């Protein structure tokens, strides 16, 4: 056995991690960046690649009923509870090559080192590549992790993708039985903790010259789907005073989102998707649908913004003689990370002679779901210019290697007995 305190050098180890991420990124639908949706051929290819690497790292691998790729590196006493790590395999449309999947490849790289050195720990290590966190295909945020915590909404199985396939059909097409989904649920006693490594997706670590950061809390978020319906008409003949233009109403609504969110430092809002019907240059838009994504570290701020916006939208729709339908697509309760686990991650960062920068996550993560099952912590990794959800997403090999060094040190020193009795 090698000296357990020894760690691979950051630059070369990080380059190996980036090379693997590059191979994974090739499995993408067309267009710039990476687009990988739940239960597609690209998802299958990534599962196959990860499963091979997991096996090579001495792990037992299975695809669970929710299409999560799960690997287990057995403890010195087989069957012992596990420290689970992981993040999502899926992406947004035209996303980057690190969001999510970095948090699968880094723990895998750590376990490979343990396996090659013949090291076993008193607890098992599990790595999960969650099948769907972004919800790109079916609008189901956190689908993979919700299945693991046993909190899936059965109605989601009837959701349709843009080609009309339901989520249940997509799972069947992936060789899975939707009726078997409850079997993906894990029990709290099987796990000791969940740790997620993720790119920061913001500019703070880069601005402060730090490769990694310790997450304190994860944002609260809510997502609305709004449809304004007016009357489609001839662009040349209907006087301006008699129009019921759904897109003009949506434009006013978007400004209301911007205005409301600019009023506070701790609130952000985004209209990221807009569909105009019938969508012709010489037709007044009869229908316009758009989404609204609202986030804040504080739940009452999200709730207040949603209430204010619903009322503003209804007022502007009435003033323009438009019908309005507002659906709340989902609400993601934010959460703090768990102090005893953060302390151990903090110790691992310090042991690498790095300053410990604590920071808040404005993005949602699988850890938000996992905290219903076990205690959670997150390690952020610096990304170039804070850019994410964009093909230009980038990290350096050295930072990937430093993240792996911190995580491996954390794994080796992990002491579940330090969990407070009531935690």
Distance of closest approach, residue 280 Cβ to ligand GLV, in angstroms: 32
Q: How many residues line the site for ligand GLV (CB under 6 A)?
A: 3
- Residue 364 as a binder of ligand GLV (CB under 6 A): the answer is yes
Which residue, among 250, 261, 195, 251, has the nearest Cα to 222 in the 3D structure?
A: 261
Residue 103 contact, options ligand GLV, Mn ion, none, Cβ 5-8 Å cut-off depending on partner type: none
Q: Within 92-121, which residues bind Mn ion (CB under 5 A)?
A: 99-100
Distance of closest approach, residue 200 Cβ to Mn ion, in angstroms: 11
Q: Which is nearer to ligand GLV, 295 or 357 (CB)?
A: 295
Q: Within 22-61, which residues bind ligand GLV (CB under 6 A)?
A: none
Measured distance CA(186)–CA(66) in Å, rounded:
12
Residue 156 contact, options ligand GLV, Mn ion, none, Cβ 5-8 Å cut-off depending on partner type: none
β-strand 191-199 against 82-88: which pairing, if any? parallel
Distance of closest approach, residue 226 Cβ to Mn ion, in angstroms: 22
* Residue found under tokens 């316009």: 288
Q: Which is nearer to ligand GLV, 70 or 363 (CB)?
A: 363
Residue 399 contact, options Mn ion, ligand GLV, none, Cβ 5-8 Å cut-off depending on partner type: none
User: For residue 239, what are the CA distances in angstroms to 235, 236, 288, 320?
Assistant: 9, 8, 20, 14
First to last CA, the chain: 35
* 172: alpha, beta or left? (left if phi > 0; alpha if psi -120 to 50): alpha
Q: Within 52-111, which residues bind ligand GLV (CB under 6 A)?
A: none
Q: Which is nearer to Mn ion, 181 or 383 (CB)?
A: 383
Distance of closest approach, residue 43 Cβ to ligand GLV, in angstroms: 17
Q: Within 43-82, which residues bind Mn ion (CB under 5 A)?
A: none
User: For residue 31, what are the CA distances in angstroms to 28, 36, 360, 390, 401?
Assistant: 8, 11, 32, 12, 29
Per-residue binder mask for ligand GLV (CB under 6 A), 373-412, x = binder: ----------------------------------------
Torsions phi, psi for 408 (to 5 deg): -65, -40
For residue 149, give both structure tokens: 């915590």
Which residue, among 136, 114, 108, has the nearest Cα to 49 in the 3D structure?
A: 108
Which residue, among 62, 63, 74, has the nearest Cα to 115 in the 3D structure?
A: 74
Q: Which is nearer to Mn ion, 99 or 287 (CB)?
A: 99
Measured distance CA(75)–CA(59) in Å, rounded:
11
Q: Where are the beta strands (DSSP E) in 314-419?
A: 323-332, 335-336, 358-361, 376-381
- Of 42, 134, 156, 393, which one interacts with ligand GLV (CB under 6 A)? 134
For residue 287, give both structure tokens: 């229908």
Residue 364 contact, options Mn ion, ligand GLV, none, Cβ 5-8 Å cut-off depending on partner type: ligand GLV
C-alpha R_g of the chain:
23
Distance of closest approach, residue 371 Cβ to ligand GLV, in angstroms: 15
| Contact set with ligand GLV (CB under 6 A) | 134, 363-364
- Summarize as ranges the residues that interact with Mn ion (CB under 5 A): 99-100
């Amino acid at each position: 056995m090698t000296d357990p305190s020894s760690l691979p050098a950051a630059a070369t180890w990080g380059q190996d991690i980036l090379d693997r991420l590059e191979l994974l990124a090739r499995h993408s639908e067309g267009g710039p960046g990476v687009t990988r949706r739940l239960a597609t051929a690209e998802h299958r290819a990534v599962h196959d690649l990860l499963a091979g690497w997991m096996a090579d790292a001495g792990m037992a691998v299975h695809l669970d009923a929710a299409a999560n790729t799960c690997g287990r590196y057995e403890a010195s006493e087989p069957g012992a509870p596990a420290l689970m790590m992981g993040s999502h395999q899926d992406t947004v449309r035209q996303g980057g090559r690190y969001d999510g999947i970095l948090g699968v490849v880094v723990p895998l790289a750590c376990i490979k080192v343990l396996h090659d050195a013949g090291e076993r720990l008193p607890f098992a290590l599990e790595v999960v590549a969650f099948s769907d966190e972004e919800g790109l295909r079916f609008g189901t945020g956190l689908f993979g992790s919700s299945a693991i915590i046993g909190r899936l909404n059965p109605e989601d199985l009837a959701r349709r993708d843009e080609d009309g396939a339901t989520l249940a059909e997509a799972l069947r097409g992936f060789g899975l039985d939707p009726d078997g989904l409850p079997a993906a649920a894990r029990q709290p006693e099987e796990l000791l903790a969940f740790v997620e490594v993720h790119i920061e997706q913001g500019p703070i670590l880069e601005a402060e010259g730090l490769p990694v950061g310790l997450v304190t809390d994860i944002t609260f978020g809510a997502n609305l789907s709004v449809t304004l319906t007016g009357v489609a008409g001839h662009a040349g003949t209907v006087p301006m005073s008699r129009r019921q233009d759904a897109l003009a109403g949506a434009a006013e609504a978007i400004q209301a989102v911007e205005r409301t969110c600019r009023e506070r430092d701790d609130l952000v809002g985004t209209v990221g998707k807009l569909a105009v019907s019938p969508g012709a240059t010489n037709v007044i838009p009869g229908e316009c649908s758009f989404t609204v994504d609202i986030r804040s570290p504080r739940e009452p701020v999200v709730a207040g913004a949603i209430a204010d916006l619903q009322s503003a939208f209804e007022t502007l729709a009435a003033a323009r003689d438009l019908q309005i339908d507002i659906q709340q697509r989902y609400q993601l309760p934010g959460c703090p990370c768990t102090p005893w686990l953060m302390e151990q991650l903090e110790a691992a960062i310090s042991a690498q002679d790095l300053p410990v920068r604590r920071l808040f996550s404005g993005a949602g993560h699988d850890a938000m779901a996992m905290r219903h099952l076990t205690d959670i912590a997150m390690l952020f990794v610096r990304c170039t210019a804070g850019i994410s959800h964009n093909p230009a997403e980038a990290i350096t090999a050295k930072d990937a290697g430093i993240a792996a060094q911190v995580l491996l040190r954390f794994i080796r020193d992990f002491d579940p007995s330090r969990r407070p009795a009531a935690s």
